[in-house]
Structure 1
Amino acid sequence: SNLSASVASASNAVNPVDDGLQVICAWPVSGSYGAGSRVLFYVLVVTTVFARKLDWIKSAALSTALPLSTAAAVHGIVLASLHRDTAVDMDIYGAFQMCSLGTLVVPLMIKLTKSHEFSTHTGRRIMFIWAGLVLAGLICLDIEFFRAQTFPCLEDGQGNPMSSNPKRFPYGTNVTCKLTCSETDGPFSPIRIGSANNIYKIPAPNTLTFGAATLVAAGCCIHTIIWMVVMTERFNTRTNSCETNEPISGTQATKGSMNDVNLMVHLFLSVAAIPVSGCAAVAIIIVSEINFFSGPVNYQSEALANI
């Protein structure tokens, strides 16, 4: 018997036990982040960048894009505050999409534009408040991605071994995966009631995984914090410009010369930040759209033809 146990142990070491397909209990992506809403948001953010010299077009697009990303940030805060351990609201992907693109594209537009509205005290205060709210939403979404749990599904509804290929997952069947997930048994969410309470067992997203989304959201948070710090420093530099000839104690330099140095450094950083932010925004759009149209995330979401 000891020999048999040793052989079985060695066999398991060479061929580890298959954990099966990782699944989640999830509410599908709502219509607020459907394909039509996302395309509209993309058009708005692209317009703010490429039509930045036309103030009336830029203002109209920006006044629509900023509230959308703000609403997504508030939604992210609500999702984090109403977290359910055994379920995931797939709207976290939609909210993350709008918040991340907002924090990447809006600073890019401000760097490229020469409009005076962003250099005034009121304009910078509004942008600072908006950035702080979106940052709070990104932090909450980052926490939600980190807390998302997956569960192994070893058998299908007929007792056969479950394939590890997500494309072969039997959606909508009586697959239990030993997971409580139904409209009658729960989990329940106060923001998913009425006709929006449909909840399903789906494979865990494998294009933009929860771990990858956690890292990307953290990077967007860092980018937003840096932008807010730079925006504050630039505003302080402008407000103190009247004291340009006042010498700095202990040196022969004046505050005006140091301001010129700071502005030059900011100029070089802006030149480097423009292509980096642009490429990051394009990459997020491409990867996220592939993820949105993948089987698990697209399941039971509102089709573009229904809009």
Structure 2
Amino acid sequence: MPPPSWGISLSDAVVSQSGGLPTSIASANTTTNSVDGSLKVICAWPVSGSYGAGSRVLFYVLVATAVFARKLDWIKSAALSTALPLSASAAVHGIVLAALHRGNAVDMDVYGAFQMCAIGTLVVPLMIKLSRSHEYSTYIGRRIMFMWAGLVLTGLVCLAIEFFRAQTFPCHDDGQGNAISSNSNRFPYGENTTCELVCSENDGPFSPIRIGSANNIYVVPAPRTLTFGAATLVAAGCCIHTVIWMVVMTERFNVRTKSYETNKPISGTNGATKGTMNDVNLMIHIFLSAAAVPVSGCAAVAIIIVGEINFFSNPVNYQAEPLAAIG
């Protein structure tokens, strides 16, 4: 007696599904690998002339002069009077970038603003710790430094938010049917490479601070030297450092001010005065904060090195101002 037809159909179905299962899994794996292994790109405005190589070198020279020539007041004052406004303007720029965020595009000026804000907030406290001048303990000096620190702190917070919100997109072809390699060094830069993204001067995205000759926008690979995630963490760390510095320096400023205001003896002591006790507390504070000097210095040098490597990488350096352009 022949077997039921449903048995044959069931067997055929099982065999068919068993044979098709590896094929389906392989197809799914191929699709997943193509997505995960594809090159990540962004739609970005290039670094503007305000943060070009020449401007950054000028800023580094001013900061280094303020630190190493801190005993010469006229040189230190001249360097600080230029370096501090540069960091402050970069902080304001960071606030504007966060306020005028465009979801599908990244303004590469975030790296330039971050570089100046981070170096400023690391080096200026270092210079104050090493300086023996009392100009920072005056009423006006305290207010100026805290206004500057508060502005830079706000800028760093906005830059951290902007780095966190940056979006990358997978790129499979250049928009004209040509495959794109996952190696960023082989990426075909140019206006014709769109990676199927809406990214051009005519079609957008548009930004009110990128108009006129500065509205050029391109599809470039996502930075790999200093990624958006790493920059977010470093910016957050600089924010924490700035807050701690403001708290510590508040106590130090108060100690210095009081030591000059009174020398009245403290009752119940063997001739000790408030000024003497403040000097002792200040000396203890100097010893406890001695580790902050090499840590801040090494952090600043590390940010400069990594930041410059990132600036001269192909994605960030594309269409950026040359070294000769200052300002």
Name the aligned partner's letter for residue 277 of structure 1. S
CA shift for structure 1 position 302: 1.0
Contact 2:175 2:196 in 1 (8 A): no
Secondary structure of the structure 1 residue equivalent to 2:289: helix
For residues 226-237 of structure 1, the aligned pairs below 5 Å read 226-237=244-255
For residues 10-25 of structure 1, the aligned pairs below 5 Å read 10-11=25-26, 16-19=32-35, 20-25=38-43
Q: Which residue among 210, 213, 216 is the counterpart of 1:195?
A: 213
What is the distance in 2 between the residues matched to 1:5 and 1:120? Answer: 80
Name the aligned partner's letter for residue 17 of structure 1. N
For residues 47-58 of structure 1, the aligned pairs below 5 Å read 47-58=65-76
Match of 1:143 in 2: 161
Q: Which residue among 147, 154, 158 is the counterpart of 1:129?
A: 147
Q: 1:13-56 deviations in whole A, cap 9, x for unaligned?
A: 76642221000000000000000000000000000010001110
Secondary structure of the structure 2 residue equivalent to 1:304: coil
Q: Which residue among 133, 136, 142 is the counterpart of 1:115?
A: 133
Q: 1:54-105 deviations in whole A, cap 9, x for unaligned?
A: 1100000000000000000000000000000000000000000000000011
Match of 2:185 in 1: 167
Deviates more, 1:152-161 or 1:141-150: 152-161
What is the distance in 2 between the residues matched to 1:232 and 1:80? Answer: 29
Give me the identity figure in percent: 77
Secondary structure of the structure 2 residue equivalent to 1:289: helix
CA shift for structure 1 position 303: 1.2
Q: Does 1:81 align with 2:96?
A: no
Q: 1:299 to 1:113 in 2, by over 3 A?
A: same
Q: 1:272 to 1:13 in 2, by over 3 A?
A: farther
What is the distance in 1 between the residues matched to 2:59 and 2:20? Answer: 60
TM-score under structure 1 length normalisation: 0.92
What is the CA RMSD across the aligned residues, in angstroms?
2.3
Contact 1:145 1:211 in 2 (8 A): yes
Match of 1:245 in 2: 266
Contact 2:225 2:309 in 1 (8 A): yes
Contact 1:157 1:173 in 2 (8 A): no
Deviates more, 1:35-44 or 1:7-16: 7-16
Match of 1:297 in 2: 316
Match of 2:204 in 1: 186
CA shift for structure 1 position 192: 0.3
Equivalent residue pairs, number: 303
Contact 2:174 2:196 in 1 (8 A): no
Match of 1:100 in 2: 118
Secondary structure of the structure 2 residue equivalent to 1:174: coil
CA shift for structure 1 position 181: 0.4
Deviates more, 1:109-118 or 1:88-97: 109-118
Match of 2:18 in 1: 3
Q: 1:125 to 1:35 in 2, by over 3 A?
A: same
Match of 2:11 in 1: none
Q: 1:306 to 1:112 in 2, by over 3 A?
A: closer
Contact 1:244 1:257 in 2 (8 A): no
Secondary structure of the structure 2 residue equivalent to 1:115: coil
Mind listing any 5+ residue stretches in structure 2 that lack a counterpart?
A: 1-15
Q: Which residue among 41, 45, 53 is the counterpart of 1:35?
A: 53
CA shift for structure 1 position 121: 1.8
Match of 2:307 in 1: 288
CA shift for structure 1 position 306: 5.0
CA shift for structure 1 position 9: 4.9
Name the aligned partner's letter for residue 2 of structure 1. Q
Secondary structure of the structure 2 residue equivalent to 1:22: strand
Q: Does 1:152 align with 2:165?
A: no
Name the aligned partner's letter for residue 18 of structure 1. S
Contact 1:90 1:297 in 2 (8 A): yes
Q: Does 1:210 align with 2:256?
A: no
Mind listing any 5+ residue stretches in structure 1 that lack a counterpart?
A: 248-252
Q: 1:214-244 deviations in whole A, cap 9, x for unaligned?
A: 0110110000000000111222334455477
What is the distance in 2 between the residues matched to 1:5 and 1:235? Answer: 76
Contact 1:246 1:255 in 2 (8 A): no
Match of 1:250 in 2: none
Deviates more, 1:133-142 or 1:10-19: 10-19
Name the aligned partner's letter for residue 120 of structure 1. T
CA shift for structure 1 position 268: 2.2
Who wins on radius of gyration, i.e. which is larger?
2
CA shift for structure 1 position 162: 1.6
What is the distance in 1 between the residues matched to 2:66 and 2:40? Answer: 40
